[in-house]
Every structure is written in structure tokens, then in C-alpha cells.
Structure 1
Amino acid sequence: MPGDLPEYYFRIRDNGALVFRLDTENRQRRIEMDQIATVNIRNGEVKPHGVRALTEDDLAEIERWMIHRSHLLAEREVDDILRAVDHMNLTTQWAQTRANDDQLEQVTDSLLLAMHDLRTVLVRKKSDRLMKRAPVNEAPPAADG
């Protein structure tokens, strides 16, 4: 039935969610939300709410949600960075074509420092990745003497 509600509801919050079990099987046919747990995505911690014991079904659904949520957040993070690249390009176009001297004076130092910091980190990380990929050179054979 299209109007069927899921068994669980996850109220998103920083670093995770509050987990509720939904119940419509009551006399008033109202939606009741019973908090069953608190989830922390960063450290994987699942804390039952109050003195409640979580069932295997509860834990399985929470685990599925945590995996899905982690993937979604990772995708969003990369998308945010790609949007930042777009915004940097738009900033470059603005600085070249529309910005006046006062506007450039307001933003130049902050932009240059942020770009320098970003460049330093990116170059170091790229170097680290390249070093990991490079084959380890064996020591040259000893000279017979």
C-alpha cells in the first residue's frame, strides 16, 4: 500500500541520528514515535534509549541506515568540493572582469592565503600518493673488490 509508513524513522542530527520506531497500530490510528536509540555515525556507536534493549531487527535496520548515510555524506562531501571548484572559477572571472579595486582589496589577502594553504596540502597529499605507488628501489649490488 503506497501510504504505508516505514517501521523506523531517523531524525538526523550532527554526527548521527535519533532512531524512532513508528507505531500506527493503536486505537486512534495516530502515528506514535517511540525513541529507541541514538546513533553516532563518526564512531559507529549505537546507544539504546533509556533502559531499552534493541532487537536484532532494530540493530540490523540501524546498521543499514548508518551504511547508507555514510555513503550519502561522502558523496555530498565530494559534490561540495566540486562546487567549490566551480565557485573558484566564478571568483576568478569576477576578479578579472567585474571587481573594482576596493572589492579586490577586501578579498585578495584572504583568498591568497586560503589558496596557498590549499595548494600546500594538495601538493603534499599528491606527493604522498605518488610515493606510495612508486616501486621500492632495491639497493644496488655490492661491488666486488
Structure 2
Amino acid sequence: MSTELPEYYFRVRENGAFVFKVDTQNRHRRIEMDQIAVVNTRNGEVKPHGDRTLSNADMAAIEDWLADRKALLAARDIDDILRAVDHLNYTAHWVQTRAEEDQLDMVTDSLLLAMHDLRTLLVRKKAERLMKGD
């Protein structure tokens, strides 16, 4: 574990983070975190907390975090999709080897509708990409 704390702490929330400035140089030698901003990862909006004015260093740290966070979330999205492909394969194997009739009755319609919806979207998007290439 590092002995030096970062200058900023980002408390992640669903669509962004609360940004805190970390202070260890106070007379009580305690860790103090002063909220300085709220960041929205969807639209990139940065709102200073209260009447605070963000410094150039604050904004640079927030912009760096925002870029890193968006890249991480994008990578997680792809990983989730690849896991979904694995689950579809596991499901196909389950259907073929172990599924009981009552279990199939419980899941067949939901799976067929979801797969039909997904297939329709994938075919449309692929056709759009192919048309752009022409």
C-alpha cells in the first residue's frame, strides 16, 4: 500500500462521481475530504460544489478521470456482451443436454423473443454498416 494518498478522490455513482480534494496536511494530521464537484459521465458535465471555483489543476484531474472512466465503462460493456455470448452458448448446451420440459416451458418464449429482437437489431445495424461502405 502506498504511503502517499492521491490529491483527488472520486466517489463513483451510477452516472458519474462526486469529486473530493484530499487533504492530509492539516494540523490534526487527519485525512479530510472536501467535496469540490459532481461529474456526469454521460454528458461530461462538471458542476462545482457550492460556491467553489475549480482550478485548472482541478479541471485537469477531473477531465483525466472522466476519460479513464469512460474507457473503463466502454471496456466493461464489451466484456458484458462477450459474457452474454458465453451465456447463450451455455444456454444452448443446457437446452440440448439437461433441460426438462417444464423448464423449457418456463424460458422458451422469453428467450425466443429476446433472441428475435437482438437478431433484428444486429441484422439492421450490419446492413447499415454495409451500406455506408458502398
TM-score by length of 1: 0.91
Q: Which residue of 2 aligns with 1:92?
A: 92
1:141 paired residue number: none
Match of 2:105 in 1: 105
Q: Give the equivalent residue in structure 2 for 1:69.
A: 69
- Three-state SS of the structure 2 residue aligned to 1:99 is coil
- For 1:78 and 1:89, locate their aligned partners in 2 and report how far apart those are by CA, in whole Å: 17
The CA deviation string for residues 72-115 of structure 1, in whole angstroms up to 9 with x for no partner, is: 00000000000000000000000110010000000000000000
Amino acid in the other structure paired with 1:93: H
User: Deviations for 1:114-144, whole angstroms, at most 9, x for unmatched residues?
Assistant: 000000000000000000001xxxxxxxxxx
**How much is the aligned-residue C-alpha RMSD, in angstroms?**
1.0
More helix by share: 2
Question: Where does residue 49 of structure 1 map in the other structure?
Answer: 49
Aligned residues: 134
* 1:46 CA drift (Å): 0.3
Q: Which blocks of at least 5 consecutive residues in structure 2 are unaligned?
A: none
Matches within 5 A, 1:1-145: 2-134=2-134
Letter in 2 for 1:97: T
Of structures 1 and 2, the one scoring higher in RCO (CA 8 A, sep 6+) is 2
Deviation at 1:2, TM superposition (A): 3.0
* d(CA) in 1 for partners of 2:79, 2:18: 26
List per-residue Cα deviations over 1:11-66 (Å, max 9, x = no partner): 00011000000000112211100000000011110000000000000000000000
Work out the CA distance in 1 between the residues paired with 2:107 and 2:123. 24
Q: Equivalent pairs: percent with the same residue?
A: 69
Rounded to whole Å, the distance in 1 between the matches of 2:101 and 2:2 is 59
Q: Which 4+ runs in 1 deviate beyond 2 A?
A: none
- Measure the CA separation in 1 of the matches of 2:26 and 2:57: 21
The amino acid across from 1:130 in the alignment is L
